[in-house]
Amino acid sequence: MKRLTIEQLLGVNKFVVDDEQAHIKVNKEICSRCQPKPCTFACPASLFSIKDEELSFDCAGCLECGTCRVVCPNAGIAIEWQYPRGGFGVHYRYG
């Protein structure tokens, strides 16, 4: 089977993206001081990346697992985490 990129993988999923409210917010100041940035490896949807030496995060494509909330070395401070508003987010058709 051909190797798939994360964009291709997320592309097969159904999402209802919430353009008004981000359900996960990162504190860029705290994150700028975090050396390991494990979220950039551990997020299954690979939504955390480093752009222009700054942590960049995009809610669209979130699989709502909660890994970032736990893997974060500044858990509870750097990432403000909640589920998307009712009706928004990933919609699993198989599960």
Partner 1 sequence: MAEEKFTAIVVGAGPAGSTAAYLLAKEGHDVVLVERGTTPGSKNMYGGRMYSHALNRIMPGFWEEAPVERPIARESITFLNGDQSVSISCGNMSWAANPFHSFTLLRAEFDAWLAAKAEEAGALLACGIRVDELLIDSGRVIGIRAGEDEMLADVVVAADGVNSILAQKAGLAKMFAPSQVATGVKQIIELPAETISQRFELEGNNGAARLFVGDCSNGMQGGGFLYTNKSSLSLGLVINVGELQRCQVKLCDIMEDFKSNPHIAPLIEGGEVAEYSAHLVPEAGLAMMPQLYGDGMIVAGDAAGFVLNLGYTVRGMDFAIASGEAAARTVMEAKARNDFSRQGLSRYKELLKQSFVLRDLEAYRKAPDFLENQRMFKAYPKLVTGLASKLFTVDGAPPVHLMKMVFDQIKQSDISLIQLARDGWKGARNL
Contacting residues toward partner 1, per CB under 8 A? 1, 3-4, 6, 9-10, 12-13, 16, 36, 38, 40-46, 63-67, 69-71, 73, 75-76, 82-87, 89-95
* Alpha-helix runs per DSSP H in 12-87: 28-33, 39-42, 67-71
Tokens of 56: 């960049």
Nearer Cβ to partner 1, position 28 or 91? 91
Minimum distance from CB of 29 to partner 1 (Å)? 21
CA distance 70 to 63: 15
Minimum distance from CB of 33 to partner 1 (Å)? 17
Nearer Cβ to partner 1, position 78 or 84? 84
Minimum distance from CB of 24 to partner 1 (Å)? 12
**Extended strands (E) in the chain:** 15-16, 24-26, 48-51, 54-57, 79-81, 89-90
Q: Which residues pair with 26 in a beta bridge?
A: 79
Minimum distance from CB of 38 to partner 1 (Å)? 5
